[in-house]
Structure 1
């Protein structure tokens, strides 16, 4: 039923009740019961057609029974309160789905495409992959694509939950539904409409919010037998006591409305909140399982570390050289190298503001390093075998023990310095590990790297256990071992080499899933941003959601118990019972809606920033 019809029925019934109380005409009270009760009766009939005894049937039987015993006020009050409760319930449930509606509204309708070099505004469906779209400052990015030209800051909050705009330049990926906050971009369209990352997120959240948790499935089975059980109990009481009003009152107070709604509304709110924070949880079952996670197996490379080598140390062995001079010599020699570590040295030098000119003459030495002619001198970068005399290896060994790859820098056969590179720890990894420990979660680092490298990283991060020099199947064994010990295990990996372990784990987690449709569709939890602290945040939100479900179930059961006691000891009428029943329904919905409050710091900052922008705009409008 449409919203205006729902509230129209409630308003009409309410007006008739007021007129009946003023005039004393019973016919108006009967009319009020019919107006409010008719849609309830239709709903009850539709349920019966599929062999289901619904809560609506309890209300209809109670209302009709009250009319037969000429208790018109009770009949009108029960149907009116039930209709009012349904309308409020529908309105508040719509609010819990706001995170999804916000995503849907974020989808752009039009785009400015360049045709023959001229901008033209077209509908999204008119675009094809390969089209070049123009995005100006303040406009929405209409497609998933790659930046061809231009620079700018893009607000990707709708996709990743990040509050700080991401800098984009040539070659960068952008996503439909995000906003360009500075600059101008030309973007080659790759994903359009339903093929965009935003569309896949919306699809995933829709499915997830409808997916049922195990507790919800149990409660639905319970209510399937509970509702007819209430009808039989009320019939038995009526026959034994010959008190029809008592039997009808039992029908009303036995309605399991709050019990049935307590779990799905919590799941909708929890998954909606997580989606707004850039965390996609596949469904209610995975939300419930995530709340139990007490052990996490984390791949090292690219998860706890940056996944690429960076310059870490520059040591001077000859006092006639400075650290900058040693680094420039090494970087210039490496410009002729194709070794993976060469780029780390070059970028390290440029990152320190040093100019790195390319060399023309160089000679790579297989397995040892490289020799190059730099300003008339022969510069070698690599092992001691490239030098005329063997220098003291103590410092090299020390750096190697720290998990770093260290190389001598020599000039004309003499060692003048040492440079070292390593895969460095992510800046946000220590914070994430600390947060996981704060939630009582055991963290196991699993990696194929050498033992000494793994132990140095583990010591710096403070993980609980280290497993090194592993093959992908070894990670699967670790997950099985933890599960055999009674742990609920989450596995965080890249989804390729770690596929067996991810499949075995109770919860598989994909990081940086934005732009990866496979990760969005297959992971139990997908962290849209490449931010490890989102994992403890997601687990914390899952635990809050499950706690909310339990609180709501307790409220629902307590309400029924108190009403039953009130009926047995006198004082609870049909209308009062329905009023308390509907109040309990709204209470559990209201408690579930508390999950929609932002708890992620970036989300709070973003909301505050948006509020400030809105306030400034209102002030400027008022002045104008």
Structure 2
């Protein structure tokens, strides 16, 4: 019976409203008071049923909820035969709950939209070479899939053949189609707008980037911030306090109607719902714009950040460096370059990729006993030779002597902002590669926005040489720049800033800088949802789009401000209502309940404004976006 009543709350609300309207219609049109009284009594009884059930369920777990206060108030009004108050209060409470649920569902629309984007079917290649349509849950890693025009990509995978334009808005927040060809990655939930692709499944189900985005946003929306935990604790004691206050007023004044009115007016509904709706809306907005905020606590901490520390390569720079200078030393330089290429094939570092694109080896060698020197480079055995590939620090560590010419070349390259890759064979320097990585398009304007949003210090930490780091810092007007930094050096520097009282966010690629991401007050990962980025960081900027960082900071500041607004509205309304009971003649239960439900809707609608939040764009940003589209 309880389940039936609770499942039909909408019908009960509608019937209660109909009875109240019908009763007053009979009273004022036909002068029939009996019909009015009967209608109000029935409306009171059916209206209080779902509220009383919820109150009983709350009391079973030793919680004095809002439903308990309303139930006591309505029963009291009914017993003193104030049927008008009891009927109207129950209707307003039920109708207010209906409106709350309807508007709250809209704040979770980001999750609903993401879930609806999830692919359900896939065309999988069978043993005969034909493609068969199956449920997406049946797809396994390594399967070959066919995706046709208009279809959703069912898994994270790599293109085997074909070409097409894919809308990656579900992953990156950008609706501009991206061209996909052989060997490029595709993501589940994105849409192939034109073309046909064959892909091999790399990650399936919940392990896909899209699956993890949904999981993260759901967890974030369900998490509670410090403010929410405080309000939950406050409500736990506040609600019984209202009950006690009402009882004391009744004992002193002997006015049962006044005591009942206090029960209704003291309900903390808007206070309880105000902060969660702000958090949910803020997180939902982030999900729509390619910013994953991992919980309400992140919003609180991120909004207070005054120092942002950046990794250089792949964060402030595009991460696609090219060789700008090449020098060789000693005899048989071609053989030394072949050794270099053979060693760099063992690395996935961006600088290694630049070297491989620049140098075409005439001979390949087997590399053995490879040792990666953290923050330095690689030492390996190649055809019986000890080959050292890395920066100047590694050369010194290995005892490699640098000639005057080499020292001059190094100095010139560093002054031009080049990253250096030196190669030594058996302790002798054989080559120098000066590699230049371009600053990200539009990043200077984005950094300017961060300062406008209240960030005081912008710092770059890099394992690169100081000259290169200084060149980037000068171009971008950064506060500080430090080169030759190992991962542990970066962590130590962040700890130093925190000890000085600064609230620090670290922005990195989520792989090499995972210690710093974990140590910082807020870790922000640039990346297309890689495993390490999602696991280590507090915030993920999808598709490595730096432009999302100012939006993320502006969003969390707006969300934090919105929470405060809702708390002020909720507390202010309760204080005004309670004051009106004692210092005015017009306040009663019905008016109080109407204002109470109205305040709940106000804080919900105020929180929902965050769903439409967008950081104002400057002219520079518009110009950058036009260039990107072209």
Q: Match of 1:378?
A: none
Cα pair distance change 1:391/1:563, threshold 3 Å: closer
Q: Are 1:85 and 2:85 matched, yes or no?
A: no
Do the aligned partners of 1:513 and 1:520 also contact (CA within 8 Å) in 2? no
Q: Secondary structure at the match of 1:37?
A: helix
**Cα distance in 1 between the residues matched to 2:437 and 2:575:** 61
Deviations along 1:45-71, whole A, 9 cap, x unmatched? 100000000001111111011011111
Do the aligned partners of 2:509 and 2:527 also contact (CA within 8 Å) in 1? no
Deviation at 1:419, TM superposition (A): 9.9
**Cα distance in 1 between the residues matched to 2:361 and 2:498:** 56
Do the aligned partners of 2:111 and 2:284 also contact (CA within 8 Å) in 1? yes
Do the aligned partners of 2:510 and 2:532 also contact (CA within 8 Å) in 1? no
Q: Match of 2:476?
A: 461
Match of 2:264 among 236, 240, 252: 252
For these two proteins, the number of residue pairs brought into alignment is 552
Cα pair distance change 1:482/1:5, threshold 3 Å: same
Q: Give the stretch that moved more between structures: 483-492 or 338-347.
A: 338-347
**Cα distance in 1 between the residues matched to 2:614 and 2:17:** 40
**Cα distance in 2 between the residues matched to 1:190 and 1:342:** 24
Deviation at 1:505, TM superposition (A): 1.2
Q: Match of 1:96?
A: 107
Deviation at 1:344, TM superposition (A): 4.3
**Cα distance in 2 between the residues matched to 1:423 and 1:183:** 33
Do the aligned partners of 1:537 and 1:600 also contact (CA within 8 Å) in 2? yes
Q: Are 1:550 and 2:564 matched, yes or no?
A: yes
Q: Are 1:527 and 2:541 matched, yes or no?
A: yes
Do the aligned partners of 2:164 and 2:193 also contact (CA within 8 Å) in 1? yes
**Cα distance in 2 between the residues matched to 1:367 and 1:123:** 52
Q: Match of 1:376?
A: none
**Cα distance in 1 between the residues matched to 2:280 and 2:354:** 46
Cα pair distance change 1:192/1:368, threshold 3 Å: closer
Q: Match of 2:392?
A: none
Cα pair distance change 1:505/1:65, threshold 3 Å: same
Q: Give the stretch that moved more between structures: 288-297 or 108-117.
A: 108-117
Cα pair distance change 1:193/1:540, threshold 3 Å: same
Q: Match of 2:489?
A: 474
Q: Are 1:491 and 2:503 matched, yes or no?
A: no
Deviation at 1:92, TM superposition (A): 0.6
Cα pair distance change 1:431/1:222, threshold 3 Å: same
Q: Secondary structure at the match of 1:440?
A: coil
**Cα distance in 2 between the residues matched to 1:59 and 1:31:** 17
**Cα distance in 2 between the residues matched to 1:220 and 1:132:** 50
Q: Match of 1:422?
A: 436
Deviations along 1:108-165, whole A, 9 cap, x unmatched? 1111122222222111122222211111121111111111111112111111212222
For structure 1, the residue ranges without an aligned partner over 5 or more in a row are 315-329, 349-355, 370-383, 408-417, 606-624
Q: Secondary structure at the match of 1:510?
A: strand
Q: Secondary structure at the match of 2:310?
A: strand
Q: Match of 1:165?
A: 177
**Cα distance in 1 between the residues matched to 2:219 and 2:193:** 32
Deviations along 1:540-588, whole A, 9 cap, x unmatched? 1111111011001101111111111211122111000000000000000
Deviation at 1:191, TM superposition (A): 1.9
Cα pair distance change 1:496/1:531, threshold 3 Å: same
Q: What aligned pairs does 1:534-545 form with structure 2 within 5 A after superposition?
A: 534-545=548-559
Q: Match of 1:322?
A: none
Cα pair distance change 1:481/1:400, threshold 3 Å: closer
Match of 1:176 among 188, 196, 199: 188
Q: Are 1:37 and 2:40 matched, yes or no?
A: no
Cα pair distance change 1:310/1:601, threshold 3 Å: farther
RMSD, aligned α-carbons = 3.3
Q: Are 1:448 and 2:463 matched, yes or no?
A: yes
Cα pair distance change 1:360/1:280, threshold 3 Å: closer
Deviations along 1:16-44, whole A, 9 cap, x unmatched? 11122123321210111122211111111
**Cα distance in 1 between the residues matched to 2:10 and 2:406:** 86
Match of 1:403 among 383, 404, 417: 417
Q: Are 1:125 and 2:128 matched, yes or no?
A: no
Deviation at 1:266, TM superposition (A): 0.7
Q: Secondary structure at the match of 1:565?
A: helix
Deviations along 1:357-415, whole A, 9 cap, x unmatched? x797999999999xxxxxxxxxxxxxx99xxxx999999854541222699xxxxxxxx
For structure 2, the residue ranges without an aligned partner over 5 or more in a row are 27-32, 327-332, 345-350, 366-381, 390-401, 422-431, 623-630
Q: What aligned pairs does 1:332-347 form with structure 2 within 5 A after superposition?
A: 338=341, 344=354
